[in-house]
Amino acid sequence: MPWAGSPAARSDPGDSVPGTAINDLTVRLGTAKEVRPTGRTREFTLAARKATWELAPGKIVQALTYNGTVPGPTIRVTEGDTVRVVLKNDLDQETTIHFHGLHVPNSMDGVPPFTQAPIKPGETFTYEFVASHAGTFMYHPHINSVEQIDNGLYGLFIIDPQQPDEPKFDREFSMVLGAWILPADGQHQLPGGEMMPGAAVVGMNMNYNWFTINGKAFPATPEWIVKRGDVVRVRLVNISNLAHPMHLHGHDFKVVAKDGEPVRPELQQVMNTLTVNPGETYDIVFIADNPGVWVFHCHELHHTENDGVEPGGLVQVIRYEGAPAAPAQPQATPTMPARMPGMGH
């Protein structure tokens, strides 16, 4: 299916490679391109602290945050910039920051006890490194990781190229996919004992009962507004412990980057569902060529519920400019049949 005027149409000899799974795609590897220093130093200050956070209307939780928000502030720089991140630990436990997927000096990797000592409560630590290659990444702690990440301590990290060799995009959106364990009182809990082996596989760990896009569960997820003809880039980041098969209604898309590395044009498959595994990032592109009101959601349908009530969770609404208002939402109801504790979906 050629896309006239689309990014992939410039040099794509074929829209897909039959029999090639997305996880098997060959991306740019080998000798890294030389990045010219920009001479700029970009400094960011992050305070790890507890805060109340509203996941959905009326659903307030006690979260661990950077600067009071979930996710924390997006760090966005350009290749060649010197990045300085000052982390102040206002928590009552030790923490660090790991810059997931970035090529940083060993001492800046944030993984106790291997690359640094834990940052104790009340202490401050400064991370400094050069942003060496463009892409979509994330940052999060690497100590008490399950507790801290599940409670909201994470953020998006974007490095823009110095000399973009990619097409222009009319709109850009990001989706940081999270999962929470919330009892009826809204207080965040951790799973009892250790996670079962393979818990990252879809449907295996049913302790998670709230699911968020950029810290919000539907209907609190803000709508994306597009207009017909827009080239839309979406940065998908999975910070959770579960896999999420993300399905776009009414459109196809191509994967143009995975884990911060571009996918070769001849390997950019056309698809409408992409499984994003824990710790992965993808950049996808679609053409807004089908006006209306559409959804982009996880197709592990338990993840489109708020504690067993649908619609909720990982549902993103995409609205074209001028599209009529969507019909009034029916009253949310528990899905049927009800799942028993500990049962898979």
| Same-fold call for 41-160 versus 171-334 | yes
Contact between residue 51 and residue 63 where contact means Cβ atoms under 8 Å apart = yes
Residue 33 has pLDDT above 90, yes or no: no
Residue 345 has pLDDT above 80, yes or no: no
- The pLDDT tens digits for 200-221 are 333 334 589 999 999 999 999 9
pTM: 0.82
| CA–CA gap between residue 65 and residue 260 (Å, rounded) | 24
170 is written with which tokens? 């009319």
The predicted model gives 320-337 an average pLDDT of 67
Q: Which residues pair with 320 in a beta bridge?
A: 226
| CA–CA gap between residue 83 and residue 46 (Å, rounded) | 13
Task: Spell out the CATH class of 171-334.
Answer: mainly beta
Residue 18 has pLDDT above 70, yes or no: no
Residue 15 has pLDDT above 80, yes or no: no
The CA–CA distances, whole Å, from 334 to 28, 211, 300 equal 46, 16, 16
| CA–CA gap between residue 165 and residue 184 (Å, rounded) | 49
The predicted model gives 37-43 an average pLDDT of 97
The pLDDT score that the predictor gives to residue 194 is 36
The pLDDT score that the predictor gives to residue 137 is 99
Nearest to 59 by CA among 177, 182, 142, 154: 182
The helix/strand/coil state of 265 is: helix
| 32 CB-contact burial (10 Å; exposed 0-12 / middle 13-18 / buried 19+) | exposed
Residue 17 has pLDDT above 50, yes or no: no
Radius of gyration of the chain (CA): 20
- The pLDDT tens digits for 90-132 are 999 999 999 999 999 999 999 999 999 999 999 999 999 999 9
For residue 115, the one-letter residue type is T
**Residue 58 DSSP code:** T
- For the domain spanning 41-160, the CATH number is 2.60.40.420
| CA–CA gap between residue 61 and residue 189 (Å, rounded) | 10
- The pLDDT tens digits for 239-298 are 999 999 999 999 999 999 999 999 999 999 999 999 999 999 999 999 999 999 999 999
For 144, half-sphere exposure in the C-beta direction (CA atoms, 13 angstrom radius) is 16
Mean pLDDT (the chain, rounded): 85
The pLDDT score that the predictor gives to residue 35 is 85
290 is written with which tokens? 């089908």
Contact between residue 84 and residue 128 where contact means Cβ atoms under 8 Å apart = yes
The predicted model gives 81-91 an average pLDDT of 99
Q: Which residues pair with 296 in a beta bridge?
A: 248, 316
Contact between residue 318 and residue 223 where contact means Cβ atoms under 8 Å apart = yes
> Any idea which of 297-301, 309-313, 327-331 has the lowest mean pLDDT?
327-331
**Residue 189 DSSP code:** -
188 is written with which tokens? 């965040």
Nearest to 213 by CA among 304, 329, 277, 284: 304
Q: Which residues pair with 137 in a beta bridge?
A: 157
> Any idea which of 106-120, 155-169, 170-184, 293-307 has the lowest mean pLDDT?
155-169
Contact between residue 27 and residue 262 where contact means Cβ atoms under 8 Å apart = yes
The helix/strand/coil state of 341 is: coil
For residue 58, the one-letter residue type is G
The percent of residues in the chain predicted with pLDDT above 70, rounded, is 77
- In this structure, the chain runs to a length of 345
60 is written with which tokens? 């307030």
Residue with tokens 């997820």: 221
- The pLDDT tens digits for 316-328 are 999 999 998 766 5
For residue 318, the one-letter residue type is I
Contact between residue 338 and residue 308 where contact means Cβ atoms under 8 Å apart = yes
| Domain ranges (residues) in the chain | 41-160, 171-334
The pLDDT score that the predictor gives to residue 164 is 79
DSSP alpha helix (H) spans, the chain: 145-150
